[in-house]
Structure 1
Amino acid sequence: MNEEDLVRRIHRELADSYDEEMELEIEDRNIDELTGEPSKRTEEEKEYRRQYFQELFRLQAELVKLQDWVVASRHKVVILFEGRDAAGKGGVIKRITQRLNPRVCRVVALPAPNDRERTQWYFQRYATHLPAAGEIVLFDRSWYNRAGVERVMGFCSDDEYEEFFRTTPEFERMLVRSGIQVIKYWFSITDEEQHMRFLSRIHDPLKQWKLSPMDLESRRRWEEYTKAKEVMLSRTHIAEAPWWVVQAVDKKRARLNCIHHLLGQMPYAEITHPPITLPHREYHEDYVRNEISQEIMVPQVY
């Protein structure tokens, strides 16, 4: 890839990242009109984006139906999202939860364990976030940290690593036997694609915070992460909770493919709701609305 192509890719990546923040607002409008910037997209790119948003909104409508079914059937679902740094896990999680009720569908993204948690049973801090009836829990990284970052960075011993592989299949089978459906996704990107996404984050002041020292070190240890991922998939791919690999080089396609696949993992059906009737507002002659003090009003700058 020459320098001109690389710069074009980075600009496209930055534009896509801003698209993500405006998806709820754009509807059928042209994003270039909203930003006031002249369009640099080809007609083919514009058509691609139009089809993407059209299909995304259709799939999100199905996710709402899935949510209603989960509540009505009292189903319990755990969805794990794993992959390299900048693989797009957060992007698809955001699209899944974007229009759902956070009381039904919630995201768990745990920080590094503290001193107390490091002395607990390894799965203990994850178990506290498991779903009750009628809930969907999405783990943005999960107990598989031990098979990935902890293994590569030397944060666990060889014995702890082996114990993880002895325990994990049984732990997940136990979850399934208890009535929790476990769905596991690995987001796969190429070496070149991760390199480009890291560069785009470096050049994007709104996303530089996403690049931690650990992320940069993971970039250097690409091959070690590859080996760890291959071992993880082979030793924890079980019938009760199989791994599903999402090709994630194209982020938009990855989101659509993952959501489409997720919808196919549950036998959901549309739940009929009683019609909603807005009640008449009551009026009382003795009611007088008090004026709000200007001292506490937010200035109308816009």
Structure 2
Amino acid sequence: METGWPNSFGSNFGLTDMSTISINGERLLSRIRRLGDVGRDEKGRLTRLAATDADRFGRDAFVAWARDAGLDVRVDRIGNLFAIWPGGDNRACAPVMIGSHIDTVVDAGMLDGCYGVLAGLEVIQTLNERGASLDRTIVVAAFTNEEGVRYAPDMMGSAVFAGTYPLRAALASKGPDGTTLGSELERIGYARNELSGFLKPCAYIELHIEQGPILEHEGVQIGAVDSLQGISWYRITIVGEANHAGTTPMTMRRDAGHAAARVIHFLNRLALEQSASRRHRR
């Protein structure tokens, strides 16, 4: 498997100046809005959980747009969608993959995940309409159950694709309504036979709305993310000593609440110091 970013997509563009190519912004925004309307409840909240009817309608819309753009759509066993634009002379080489997810949390924004999927589709469709021909295949991916609201864990489709989570366990994951992901994928028509990981990309790009305040705060339009935070959960028990509140001197007290407050203060100060250190290195 090739690693890293490919040296070139190939020179077979059929265009003299790639800098003159611009995507169809109105088409992209129109699709984002239309997909954002799929799964709205009576109060206008967007909720498109994995393998629900709303998810099926969202998938159907993406598949239709991809096929209209001339892409071949394939679905693997965990329900991940892959819209493929074949390359030219180097089509046997590992493809470049662009994508994200189209399932949502409860009361979601319409850009989270969907922006990355639909932007990738728009890039390919624009290049195709302009007569470009890349040597290397490009794939737009929409991963299943990335949010993990209905079935745990989250990032499930991409984890199965990457080989870090077993397919069988993912399909057997049971939701709070008693259904399994595998049975619901079959119900909505997105349980297919393509082996998970049948594509092995040389590089992956995901355009994503910023989920923090940094770019907006600093007036920057776009940033490149090269790492993500790791999350670990701990349960900490602080044991004090119960005693009479009125007669126990402060110097003899073992107050668990006070100890917990000091721990919280220390962790907050540590996080601030580390944040300032990283900012200084930039």
TM-score by length of 2: 0.26
Q: Counting helix residues as a fraction of each chain, which structure ranks higher? A: 1
TM-score by length of 1: 0.25
Q: Which has the larger radius of gyration?
A: 2
